[in-house]
Structure 1
């Protein structure tokens, strides 16, 4: 993966008349992890991943661990000391190989998009690369390291459940799968102030990104159709650029209170219609997502987060 923009990103930048701003933002895309960013990663208890499963569906998911489970031993490498739950939609793709964690198995590279966020400080960074699963974790050879702005990120502090409590909850874990959102899942979406979206280019390079706003910023148009505003950002259009080439997308809605997660996979497209956009406060464009697969997992995470401090950049929700 190059550090420049691919054709889909360039197309959206020109359509939005923001090519100049995107050129300026290009300096935020690198190929290595600076020392200060390595320290940031080592402090995080969570990272979001995006990837394409063996059936061609794109999913977003999360990996968690005690701070220190993420480390960058050199500027071109990220070690993740965790693997997905067996029930996770990317478990088959990222399941353990025979090699120990940190040993690259050239037979099994998996292209991943990743984003690490620190809600308490509204810091975040994106990392894209090729992952090599091993026993107990992932070895990722990095292709892109991207600095991100802190807009629309809600402040939260975390705590980690005691080991015995987390184990008891995991023993009672439930999984619900389907092809449409239930009434309860629709409420989860309507009440969300944060979600993560995974996309991939037409060549398979993956990306994971954050979306945030006041509760209600994601609209449920039907049990299989969602819509959200695309607010003003850094003009890179890494997500929308991928969608211009490949409509496959995945969404993750974390439940910050219970540790449950709602995974959605489907397709998405950008809505450029000015009349539609004008009805949604703060929207520069709209994105519509068609749901094809749903997987909800209870007790997926041992992390528990505080009530949010909403970002001052969040537009009002009509």
Structure 2
């Protein structure tokens, strides 16, 4: 999405950029979604501000110097995120070993945030920019704030564990998936995806405006991410809120960052991928419930063992997944 305040868009102008609108038109919902622009705010309602403050983790999307999106996770005791006013979040995070955020955080950097509470299936999004950055905190200026429906979220409750004094975890880097990475992906019922929109200079009010980063949740039955080979993954895309933030970004800029979590071991897998969209055809028809498919080509992979200082309850599968197929 684009921010009306930075692009010069006024009343009657859509907050959705051309990629999102193109997908909305393809899905036959363009006019309906134009009337929903008011749900995308440039400030946070009080319930969102309170929600972020009670979380022990957040999912973060960012861009590196090569304009590669990455999906990350930050943790802290509830209260590590605060909101001094409706237009700002202050974050005092614990950055995890080898997390791409170690390299991507910078002043004025575009950031996408997903606050998600899996056991209540509640989630809210906030996209903005780093206004202040210090060694142990960042202040984010809100550009877009909006809620998401609970679809496809597996209900599992996180609890924070003390990781002070723990040894540096082993880090495995590769340009394709090894056996341990395949095992993690093959068992996954959840992953997170970061994408970017780099701006449309033809409509922006000035150079570099109208761009941003988004990070989103994807859920499915265990094994819903198909491993085609050591460099290729295929994922069904189910019906959602029709914003098409992720798909619209990929239409314009087909690079993404994926984050997989092993909820038992605490292993994290970060992937940098290029993406292609499969809109229709026999592969889409073969997966019950899929609207389209996403095919990811792995460029970089980072697996960090026992990195996440959270423990999780057993998962309760989303009821929205019952009618969906499997590979």
TM-score normalised according to structure 2 size: 0.89
- Superposed structure 1 runs of 4+ greater than 6 Å apart: none
Matched residue, 2:30: 19
- 2:167 and 2:116 map into 1 onto residues whose CA distance is 28
**Structure 1 residue matching 2:85: 3-state secondary structure:** coil
The alpha-carbon deviation at position 37 of structure 1 amounts to 1.3
Give the Å deviation of 1:232: 0.6
Cα distance 1:272–1:143, how it changes in 2: closer, same or farther (>3 A)?
same
Partner of 1:211: 218
The C-alpha deviation readout for 1:201-246, integer Å capped at 9, x for no partner, is 1324100000001101111111111111110111010001000110
Aligned 8 A contact 1:83 1:137 in 2? no
Root-mean-square deviation (CA, aligned residues, Å) is: 1.5
TM-score of the superposed pair, with normalisation by structure 1: 0.91
Q: How far apart, CA to CA, are the structure 2 residues paired with 1:317 and 1:24? A: 35
Of 276, 287, 297, the residue aligned with 2:294 is: 287
Q: Any gaps of 5 or more consecutive residues in structure 1? A: 96-107
Distance 2:39 2:289 in 1: 24
Identify the residue that residue 220 of structure 1 maps to in structure 2.
227
Alignment of 1:3-42 (within 5 A): 4-42=15-53
Gap runs ≥5 in structure 2: 5-14, 200-210
Contact 2:154/2:315 (8 A) holds in 1? yes
| Number of the residue aligned with 1:2 | 3
Q: Does the 8 Å CA contact 1:21/1:235 hold for their aligned counterparts?
A: no
User: What is the match of residue 92 of structure 1?
Assistant: 103
Q: Which residue of 1 is the match for residue 175 of structure 2?
A: 179
Taking the aligned partners of 1:153 and 1:79, their CA distance within structure 2 comes to: 26
Kept in 2, the 8 Å contact 1:277–1:284? The answer is: yes
Confirm whether residue 266 of structure 1 aligns to residue 273 of structure 2: yes
Deviations 1:59-96 (A, max 9, x none): 1000000000111110000111115335212212227x
Q: Aligned partners of 2:101 and 2:49: how far apart in 1?
A: 25
CA contact (8 A) 1:21 1:234 kept: no
Out of 222, 240, 245, the residue aligned to residue 238 of structure 1 is 245
Closer/same/farther in 2, CA of residues 60 and 141 from structure 1, 3 Å limit: same
